Amino acid sequence: MITGAGSGFGKDASLALAARGHRVIATTETDEQADLLRAEAPQLTVERVDITTDDVNKASTWDIDVLINNAGAGQTGPMADVPLDRVRRLFEVNVFGTLAVTQRVLRGMVAKGSGRVMIVSSIAGVVAGQTIGPYAMTKHALEAMGKAMRAELAPQGIDVTMLNPGPYQTGFNDRMAGTMWEWFGADALNAPSAPLFKSIGEMVLGAQLDPSEVTQKMVELTEAETTTFNNFVPPDISPQLASLLER
């Protein structure tokens, strides 16, 4: 089962895993996304599962061997000004929604004594910097959730692993970079800090990579006998981005 499969990593991984003979339940946030994916990829089982709603209860009825928690949202902006309702919404999707669907799937995994949970975190789950604070907060929370689950569930035959991508060209980062300007306001565009925020966004967006690397890693982690906790893609992204964010 892959959440957030309407586009980006989730969609690509669904198609790649199905091509390798896996039965894939690809879930989308909306009915419109589900209809489009069904039409494009009849080899997939497509279901609408908005992880912030009671849709997550559907997962209790499916026999899942591997859950890939890919659904997520983004938000940028200075921590001193970001509206709290936007931060709360971000936690609803990235943290509480992910936990909710995982709990439902784990009922079946625990009962049969096997399974794997993959949580798509981010490089922002281990580093944070200017403008990405809101998003990094949620990804740091997922890291804590995953670490606790990995220790708790290993004795029950269930593996928990994190996938930590850097900036990849899926459209997600472009949308996230623009979210701060939805509320930061026209006056802020002329503020002394505005050029800094813009330049940071331009640096990240200008360095985006081929998302096929992440798709390949998702396939590898799905099929691996064992996993490590953190899996950075590309492998050398952590020191590179940490250096960038410290500037």
Residue ranges and CATH numbers for the domains of the chain are 8-245 (3.40.50.720)
User: And the tokens for 197?
Assistant: 């925020």
Cα distance between residue 101 and residue 88, in whole Å: 18
pLDDT confidence of residue 181 = 78
**Which CA distances in Å does 84 have to 80, 89, 92, 143?**
10, 9, 12, 22
The Cα diameter of the chain in Å comes to 59
User: And the tokens for 97?
Assistant: 């929604």
| Three-state SS at 107 | helix
Cα distance between residue 81 and residue 61, in whole Å: 42
User: And the tokens for 233?
Assistant: 């893609």
pLDDT confidence of residue 240 = 59
Strand partners, 231: 163
Q: What is the pLDDT along the chain (247 residues), one digit of tens a residue?
A: 999 999 999 999 999 999 999 999 999 999 999 999 999 999 999 999 999 999 999 999 999 999 999 999 999 888 988 999 999 999 999 999 999 999 999 999 999 999 999 999 998 999 888 888 999 999 999 999 999 999 999 999 999 999 999 887 788 878 887 888 788 765 555 555 566 666 656 655 667 788 899 999 999 999 999 999 999 998 877 665 555 544 4
159 Cβ partners below 8 Å, 6+ apart?
A: 115, 116, 117, 150, 153, 226, 227
CB-count exposure of residue 84 (10 Å: 0-12, 13-18, 19+) = exposed
Q: Are strands 45-48 and 25-28 parallel, antiparallel or unpaired?
A: parallel
168 is catalytic: no
Cα distance between residue 218 and residue 170, in whole Å: 15
User: And the tokens for 15?
Assistant: 């198609």
Choosing from 135, 168, 172, 197, the catalytic residue is: 135
What is the distance of C-alpha 176 from the center of its chain? 13
Instruction: Supply the pTM of this predicted model.
Output: 0.89
pLDDT confidence of residue 77 = 87
User: And the tokens for 79?
Assistant: 């921590």
User: And the tokens for 241?
Assistant: 């981005």
Residue 91: closest CA among 82, 160, 10: 82
